Amino acid sequence: MENLSNLINQLQVTMSSNYENLLVKRIIDMAEKIQFGNENNLWTKTKFAILIEYIYKCEKRLKIQFELIKIRKKIWNNHFGVPTINFFKSFDHLFILNFEDFCKNFNNLYFNGDYQVDTHNAVLMGSQLTQINMPEAESNGLFIKTLNMQGYMTTQLDDFSKKFIQLCNERKQERLKVLEIGAAYGVVSLAAIQTGAYVFANDLSPEHLQIIHSQAENLANKNQADKLITLPGRFPEELEFEDNFFDAVLICRVLHFFTGEQIKLALGAIKKWLKPGGKIFIVVETPFLSNWKTFTPVFLERKTNGAEFPGELYNPKDFEKNRSNAIPNFIHFMDDDVLKKLLSSVGFEVADVAFINRAGQFPEDIILDGRESVGAIGIKGG
């Protein structure tokens, strides 16, 4: 097998050039020679996984990203297509380096007693992880800023998140398999695992998921932590599930970071993953927020003029000055009509859609008229 240290040196040319086919071919050839499903040569497989992760984080060319995702899913086939939080946290000091420093550290990387075997995924990982603490809530106790600048997590559950947990509780004897997308610090996931459900918690931030896992281990019934599967990754393209896998999916305060077309693709993926009769629970923000009231008339005018996605906003900081520094440079507000149409467009039966009054759940500077968020429940037909 080609030496990984030689490969990393040769890749220095392609990382800064347009030799896309050469880069992809060399990596694919290497991937085909490694048997990822067993524990033979753990050192080689772990270093290859590190290399793939580093290039994937650096590479901006979509064609190469697409090929790397396929290899990544092969490496992490036993973990639904994404690395574990233990793997991320074991080697995150490498992933933030520039390429020259990465090469030096990679070539000098040796595994010793500080590492342990992840037998499920047949890779090595660190035996000690640095503890991560959840940030303090705002003085009102309602909002906690996320670590990855994706807005805030609410500490109080909305009606649709409660209905998701209620479903898990009502069918606790079935030990449902459920997915929460954008779990943040896990207020819903932690409640769901206490019903006995198997909870797959997804988030972009491995740090968020590490906090959830630590909190799960501190629950009164420590056995519940075994029912929590943490999946760091970008939804939907990085995740890999079988069709008809989940009983229910919650995606709360996430889709308003997606364009309309991205939402359709995301909902289509969820529909494939749900069992017949399975339910999707959605919560998104509306333009009817006090701090976004300068955008509200723009939204309503676009809607009157027939825009399919009247709430897509590529310049949020032009409309909001106080909290927009904690969100990305794109946000997508929706109302009940837009959300219902999106669900219907991918074939869900819409069982419920309603505005959410956020009084007591959002800070006072955001509350407007009781329509601050909108939720919906869709059902996959049998």
CATH code (residue 355): 3.40.50.150
The pLDDT value given to residue 226: 82
Q: Decide which of 95, 126, 157 is a domain's last residue.
A: 126
Shared domain for 111 and 165, answered yes or no, is no
Shared domain for 103 and 151, answered yes or no, is no
Shared domain for 38 and 94, answered yes or no, is yes
The pLDDT value given to residue 29: 72
The pLDDT value given to residue 308: 97
Mean pLDDT lowest among 3-7, 40-44, 298-302: 3-7
The pLDDT value given to residue 204: 93
The pLDDT value given to residue 150: 79
| CA 158-163-164 angle, 5° bins | 100
Residue 177 is assigned to a structural domain of this protein: yes
Task: Judge if the upstream peptide bond of residue 310 is cis by omega within 30 degrees of 0.
Answer: no
Specify the amino acid at residue 163.
K
Q: Tokens for 87?
A: 């793997």
Residue 326 is assigned to a structural domain of this protein: yes
Mean pLDDT lowest among 127-136, 257-266, 307-316: 127-136
Q: What average pLDDT does the structure give for the chain?
A: 88
Shared domain for 193 and 321, answered yes or no, is yes
Mean of pLDDT values over 203-219 = 90
Shared domain for 147 and 104, answered yes or no, is no
Shared domain for 162 and 110, answered yes or no, is no
The pLDDT value given to residue 34: 65
Mean of pLDDT values over 357-382 = 95
CA distance linking residue 193 with residue 191, whole number of Å: 6
Shared domain for 234 and 280, answered yes or no, is yes
Q: Decide which of 126, 156, 179 is a domain's last residue.
A: 126
Residue 137 is assigned to a structural domain of this protein: no
Mean pLDDT lowest among 15-29, 305-319, 340-354: 15-29
In the 3-class helix/strand/coil scheme, how is 332-380 assigned residue by residue? ECCCHHHHHHHHHHCCCEEEEEEEECCECCECCCCCCCCCCEEEEEEEC
Residue 357 is assigned to a structural domain of this protein: yes
Residue 266 is assigned to a structural domain of this protein: yes
The pLDDT value given to residue 1: 44
Q: Which residue has the tokens 């923000």?
A: 285
Residue 132 is assigned to a structural domain of this protein: no
User: Taking the model in full, what pTM does it have?
Assistant: 0.90
Shared domain for 96 and 170, answered yes or no, is no
Strand partners, 281: 250, 377
Q: How far is CA 81 from the centre of its chain?
A: 12
Q: Decide which of 62, 96, 126 is a domain's last residue.
A: 126
How many distinct structural domains can be found in the chain?
Answer: 2
pLDDT above 80 for 7: no
- Over pLDDT 70: what percentage of the chain? 89
The pLDDT value given to residue 325: 77
Find, among 287, 303, 296, 285, the residue nearest to 356 by Cα.
285
Shared domain for 279 and 312, answered yes or no, is yes
CA distance linking residue 280 with residue 221, whole number of Å: 28
Q: What is the band of 220 on the pLDDT scale with cuts at 50, 70, 90?
A: low
Q: What is the band of 40 on the pLDDT scale with cuts at 50, 70, 90?
A: low
Shared domain for 44 and 189, answered yes or no, is no
CB 333 within 8 A of CB 311: yes
Q: Tokens for 89?
A: 């946290």
At 138-160, the pLDDT tens digits run 888 888 888 887 788 898 999 99
Residue 333 is assigned to a structural domain of this protein: yes
Q: Domain range holding 375?
A: 143-379
Of 52 and 36, the one with more pLDDT: 52
Mean of pLDDT values over 94-115 = 82
pLDDT above 70 for 39: no
Shared domain for 95 and 219, answered yes or no, is no
The pLDDT value given to residue 38: 53
Find, among 295, 294, 289, the residue nearest to 310 by Cα.
295
CB 295 within 8 A of CB 287: yes
Letter string b/e over residues 256-293, b meaning 16 or more CB atoms within 10 A of that residue's CB: bbbebeebeebbebbbebbbeebbbbbbbbbbbbebbe
The pLDDT value given to residue 382: 78
Task: Please enumerate in sequence order all residues whose Cβ is within 8 A of that of 358, keeping only pairs 6 or more positions apart, or say none.
Answer: 158, 366, 367, 370, 372, 373
- Over pLDDT 90: what percentage of the chain? 58
pLDDT above 50 for 161: yes
Shared domain for 257 and 150, answered yes or no, is yes
CA atoms within 13 A on the CB side of 90: 23
Mean of pLDDT values over 266-289 = 98
Task: Please enumerate in sequence order all residues whose Cβ is within 8 A of that of 141, keeping only pairs 6 or more positions apart, or say none.
Answer: 155
The pLDDT value given to residue 4: 60
CA distance linking residue 333 with residue 294, whole number of Å: 13
The pLDDT value given to residue 36: 60
CA distance linking residue 70 with residue 345, whole number of Å: 28
pLDDT above 90 for 122: no
CA distance linking residue 339 with residue 233, whole number of Å: 24
Mean pLDDT lowest among 36-40, 124-128, 181-185, 293-297: 36-40
Residue 373 is assigned to a structural domain of this protein: yes
pLDDT above 70 for 115: yes
Mutual angle of helices 4-15 and 42-58, in 10-degree steps: 10
